[in-house]
Amino acid sequence: MCRLAGRSSAAAAGNHIGARPLTRKWWPSLLCHGPLKPERLLPLIVATALFIENMDSTAIATSLPAIAADLSVEPVELKLALTTYLLALAVFIPISGWVADRFGAKPTFMTAIGVFLLGSLGCAASTSLEWMVAARFLQGMGGAMMVPVGRLVLLRSVAKAELVRALSWLTIPALLGPILGPLLGGLITTYSHWRFIFLINLPMGALGIWLAWKYIPLLKGEVKPLDWTGFVLSGAGLALSMFGLATLGRHMVGTWVALTCVAAGVAILVAYVLHARRHPHPLIDLDLLKLPTYRIGVMGGSLFRIGIGAIPFLLPLMLQLGFGLNPLESGAVTFTSAAGAMFMKTLAARILKRFGFRKVLVFNAVAASLMLCTYGLFRPDTPYLLMVGILLVGGCFRSLQFTSLNAIIYSEVDQARMGQATSLAAMVQQVSLALGVTLGGYALSAASLATGQATGAPINFTFAFLTIGLVSASSVWTMWKLAPDAGAEMAGRAKPGEEVHEPKVVARPGT
């Protein structure tokens, strides 16, 4: 038996119920002694799913005008297709861990990829906005299980000593997806047809299913009772409120129907809060918000993400409708933001160690929001290199902020509640991004009504980017409440043996 595989299997079997040993049966000799060892192969298999999801999300944004033309709708109406996908993620991510424990991580992961591919096929065959929205919801259902369960497979199969290396392999394809997505989406839409953006998911997804079937071990965890009432309440509340907000003022449903959906959704969410307080094991543990750094990270992160969530929607529309660029030219501009984000990943840890979480989060929220407002100053005659440079720098600021927010929320969370903390944070993140797309669409429509110009007029995007930039900047007030030494140990600023009051929150008005 390969010694590396033996160590991995021992760690997995010892720490997780139902884990099967990674013997030679699971890891061929070539994989143990060749370049792809288990701690590299497993992350790459999981990253296949993450790559497909990230690339698909960014590629479709580049093709929004072309899709709108084929479906005979205004491009701004397609915000519903984007928000529906994010909503499905928010609804189903909280139960992904339970499903993996109940049915096994391997079959759940494979099925999730299959559901995502089925949704992709539905998107490619769409002939109406309603069809596209339904297919995107199906994609979101698959994505909600695909990535979290994939990470769970990794955590249960790789020894702790090899986990950091395995996670580093996982991030590489995940970072490449947002970079290649705009370029690939633009290339396909310009020289072929936007439907192939969804069809190219099929061979890559099929490869992921085959690799998962062949090399991922059968893993099962302890099955705990699922809070079905909480799942129904949270899912229905989110679905109704987000649907009402996304369709309000549009022609899909009447205004009163949209308002009724919003009111009913909010009422159901309130009912969930009351239910969660009484249930011993709620689906979403709202008591986590009593932890200061978790509450600040989630609330401040939500405001920041609402602003940032509108970028993939507004930027391609501005470049194509406002500036007359084709999808490939648009993708060649927007991909630089993801490139900047990838570059910042290499510096984030050092910056946090040097300045600490509070300074980084406050300064970065201001800087990223200013860059966001700057996008609205772009005009058709703005030099290409200037736009690319601003987007590159903006991507760096956003990446550092996301990295910091994703880390600080866990500084007070104990290991037993880590799964619940991850589910709640992921759900709030997806809802925030969906709200960002909705807000961006409304800001653009409001500007068009105020100016009397067509939706694609550059002045309308100035107002839209200014609006979402101000919303993003409002997160500074929340970040400021962090204590100066919050997350010090996590950032590597605490010296060995030094007592650090970590983390705490400075007593400020409104905390």
User: pLDDT tens for residues 178-228?
Assistant: 888 899 999 999 999 999 999 999 999 999 999 999 888 876 667 778 899
Least confident of 49-63, 155-169, 174-188, 487-501: 487-501
Residues 314, 392 within the same domain = yes
Indicate if 219 and 231 belong to the same structural domain. no
Stretch 122-129: mean pLDDT: 95
List, for residues 436-472, the tens digit of each pLDDT value. Answer: 999 999 999 999 999 999 888 999 999 999 999 999 9
Encode pLDDT of 198-207 as tens digits. 999 999 999 9
Same domain, 351 and 234: no
The answer to whether 64 touches 313, Cβ cutoff 8 Å, is yes
> Across all residues in the chain, what is the average pLDDT?
83
Give me the pLDDT at residue 511, please.
Answer: 33
pLDDT tier at 501 (50, 70, 90 boundaries)?
A: very low
For residues 35-54, average pLDDT: 76
| Res 334: pLDDT | 92
Same domain, 189 and 291: no
Q: Pick the more confident residue, 437 or 500.
A: 437
Structural domain boundaries enclosing 97: 1-225
Q: Give the pLDDT confidence score for residue 39 in this predicted structure.
A: 59
The residue from 236, 253, 282 where one domain ends is 282
| Claim to verify: residue 174 and residue 273 sit in the same structural domain | no
Provide the CATH number for the domain around residue 192: 1.20.1250.20
Domain check: are 206 and 127 in the same one? yes
pLDDT above 90: percentage of residues in the chain? 50
Q: Is residue 440 located within the same domain as residue 357? A: yes
Read off the pTM: 0.81
- What does DSSP assign to residue 291? S
The per-residue pLDDT for 470 is: 96
Quote the pLDDT of residue 237: 94
| 3-state secondary structure string across 68-111 | HHHHCCCHHHHHHHHHHHHHHHHHHHHHHHHHHHHHCHHHHHHH
Which pLDDT score, from 0 to 100, does residue 246 have?
A: 84
Residue 24: predicted pLDDT: 39
Task: Classify residue 265 as exposed, middle or buried by CB count within 10 Å of its CB (0-12, 13-18, 19+).
Answer: buried
Looking at the structure, tell me whether residues 21 and 67 fall in a common domain.
yes
Same-domain pairing of 483 and 414 = yes
Note whether 142 and 232 are same-domain residues. no
What is the DSSP track for 323-337?
Answer: T---HHHHHHHHHHH
Does 275 share its domain with 323?
A: no
Domain count, the chain: 3
* Residues 83 and 128 placed together within one structural domain of the fold: yes
pLDDT band per the 50, 70, 90 thresholds, residue 10: very low
Region 471-476 average pLDDT = 95
Q: Of 240, 267, 282, which residue sits at a domain end? A: 282
Residue 159: pLDDT over 60:
yes
- C-alpha dihedral sign at 179, 135, 269, 443: positive
Separation of CA 349 from chain center: 21
What is the rounded distance in angstroms from the CA atom of residue 373 to the CA atom of residue 376? 6
Taking phi over 0 as left and psi of -120 to 50 as alpha, with beta for the rest, 104 belongs to left
Max CA pair span of the chain: 73
Domain boundary among 253, 282, 311: 282
* Per-residue pLDDT tens digits for 320-371: 999 999 999 999 999 998 888 888 888 888 898 889 889 999 999 999 999 9
